[in-house]
């Protein structure tokens, strides 16, 4: 039987490489976290889109 991990609500913004994908964990204003798994190409496109708005 798999170990049950407690659900943690808020946490820091995290980006990790897991296997071939990249996982983004972003805390949300109302609590909890948004978890998105994407390919390296999708992550690069997201980075470019954010950079164009911020910088």
Question: Which pLDDT belongs to residue 9?
Answer: 60
For 20-44, what is each residue's pLDDT tens digit?
999 999 998 888 889 999 999 999 9
pTM equals: 0.72
> 48: domain range?
14-54
SS3 17: strand
- List for the chain the helix, strand, coil content (%; round to 5): 25, 35, 40
How far, CA to CA in Å, does 17 sit from each of 3, 26, 30, 54? 22, 15, 26, 24
Please report the pLDDT score of residue 30 as a whole number. Answer: 83
pLDDT band at 55 (very low <50, low <70, confident <90, very high): confident
Cα–Cα distance measured from residue 17 to residue 21, given in angstroms and rounded to the nearest whole number = 6
The C-alpha atoms of residue 13 and residue 2 are separated, in whole angstroms, by 26
6 located within any domain = no
Label residue 8 by pLDDT band (50, 70, 90): low
| Total number of domains constituting the chain | 1
Is 42 inside any structural domain? yes
């Amino acid at each position: 039987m798999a170990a049950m991990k407690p659900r943690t609500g808020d946490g820091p913004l995290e980006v990790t490489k897991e296997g071939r994908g990249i996982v983004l964990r972003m805390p949300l204003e109302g609590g909890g976290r948004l978890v998105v798994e994407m390919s390296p190409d999708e992550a690069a496109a997201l980075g470019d889109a954010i950079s164009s708005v911020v910088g």
